[in-house]
């Protein structure tokens, strides 16, 4: 069973090898699209980024955002993120839990969570969005992206629980093994999780990733 603690522990251990996922040659065209999409959406925005990891996307957003607060639960990934350069954009890193991110203080015009959705149980996605919205100004932009399911993927689904959450067996370079929840929401699942009062919802499936943006209610 995955707990919040076991997921955090997996990413703490995976931190040194995490960015290998962004070096896969076949994913480069999609990653370029995600980069352009994200850079455009956050232009001039005061951004709160949840589960920022090693700062890979923080660095992309820093090119155009007005300010960034990037949060993650793990000191290990935050140390890697802090070591990167962010140009002129003021970037603050916080050790904070996604499940209480509404407590983060700021006047955020955009909330971003990338490659986080797949690790949430299906029954918790609405709660997460409510928590994220709590941190954002009325009418703020919400920006989400994650993996699409891949036929013949290198890491197959190992089991499905009673609620429909799917899991993978992951192995790190150290040889350590973890069972990690990895959900692949459909467009309908995503639309159903977003509150009805949201506006300007846009869903884009690429080859490897889905992209979603909307405005929270004013």
Ligand X SMILES: C[S@@+](CC[C@H](N)C(=O)[O-])C[C@H]1O[C@@H](n2cnc3c(N)ncnc32)[C@H](O)[C@@H]1O
Q: Which residues bind ligand X (CB under 6 A)?
A: 4, 7-8, 11, 51-53, 56-57, 72-74, 77, 97-99, 114-116
Give DSSP secondary structure letters for 69-96: EEEES-HHHHHHHHTS--TTS-EEEEE-
Q: Please identify, using beta-carbon distances, which residue of 100 and 202 lies nearer to ligand X.
A: 100
Return the residue nearest ligand X (CB atom): 53
Q: Please identify, using beta-carbon distances, which residue of 75 and 201 lies nearer to ligand X.
A: 75
If you search the block for the tokens 């609405």, which residue do you land on? Answer: 126
The answer to whether the CB of 51 falls within 8 A of the CB of 70 is no
Nearest to 37 by CA among 149, 205, 217: 205
Residue 105 CB, nearest approach to ligand X (Å): 17
Q: Please identify, using beta-carbon distances, which residue of 153 and 197 lies nearer to ligand X.
A: 153
In the sheet that 199-205 helps form, which strands lie side by side, from edge to edge? 91-95, 67-72, 46-50, 108-114, 136-147, 209-215, 199-205
Q: Please identify, using beta-carbon distances, which residue of 17 and 197 lies nearer to ligand X.
A: 17
Phi, psi of 53 (to 5 degrees): 60, -135
Residue 34 CB, nearest approach to ligand X (Å): 9
Residue 151 CB, nearest approach to ligand X (Å): 21
Phi, psi of 80 (to 5 degrees): -70, -40
Residue 53 CB, nearest approach to ligand X (Å): 3
Residue 46 CB, nearest approach to ligand X (Å): 18
Q: Please identify, using beta-carbon distances, which residue of 95 and 199 lies nearer to ligand X.
A: 95
């Amino acid at each position: 069973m995955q707990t919040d603690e076991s997921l955090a522990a997996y990413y703490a251990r995976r931190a040194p090898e995490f960015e290998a996922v962004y070096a896969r040659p076949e994913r480069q065209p999609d990653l370029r699209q995600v980069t352009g999409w994200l850079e455009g959406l956050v232009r001039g925005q005061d951004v709160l980024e949840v589960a920022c990891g090693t700062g890979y996307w923080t660095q992309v957003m820093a090119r155009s955002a007005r300010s960034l607060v990037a949060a993650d639960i793990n000191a290990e990934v935050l140390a890697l993120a802090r070591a990167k350069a962010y140009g002129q954009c003021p970037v603050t890193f916080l050790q904070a839990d996604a499940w209480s991110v509404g407590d983060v203080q700021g006047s955020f015009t955009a909330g971003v969570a990338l490659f986080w959705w797949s690790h949430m149980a299906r029954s918790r996605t609405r709660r997460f969005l409510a928590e994220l919205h709590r941190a954002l100004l009325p009418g703020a932009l919400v920006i989400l992206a994650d993996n699409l399911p891949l036929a013949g993927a290198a890491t197959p689904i190992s089991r499905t629980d009673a609620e429909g959450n799917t899991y993978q067996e992951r192995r790190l370079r150290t040889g350590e093994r973890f069972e990690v929840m990895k959900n692949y929401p459909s467009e309908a699942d995503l639309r159903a999780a977003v509150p009805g009062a949201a506006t300007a919802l846009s869903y884009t499936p690429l080859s490897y990733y889905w992209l979603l943006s909307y405005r929270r209610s004013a």
